[in-house]
């Protein structure tokens, strides 16, 4: 951080978006698997 402005930070941005996409995808897959089991 320099003078109140945060420089860089793309790594954190990609981490947040990547982790969100991963968690949502894994949960969606788990739903389909569980739905097949109870069918």
Site string for other proteins, 10-29 (x = CB under 8 A): x-xx-xxx-xx--xx--xx-
Distance (Å, rounded) from C-alpha 32 to C-alpha 39? 11
Q: Least separation, in Å, of the C-beta of 2 and other proteins?
A: 10
Q: What is the per-residue burial (b if ≥16 Cβ within 10 Å, else e) of 13-24?
A: eeeeeeeeeeee
Q: Least separation, in Å, of the C-beta of 6 and other proteins?
A: 5
User: Could you tell me if 11 and 18 are in contact, meaning their C-beta atoms sit under 8 angstroms apart?
Assistant: no
User: What does the binding site for other proteins look like in residue numbers (CB under 8 A)?
Assistant: 1, 4-10, 12-13, 15-17, 19-20, 23-24, 27-28, 31-32, 34-35, 38-39
């Amino acid at each position: 951080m320099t003078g109140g402005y945060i420089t860089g930070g793309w790594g954190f941005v990609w981490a947040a978006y990547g982790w969100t996409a991963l968690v949502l995808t894994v949960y969606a897959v788990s739903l389909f698997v569980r739905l097949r089991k109870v069918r």
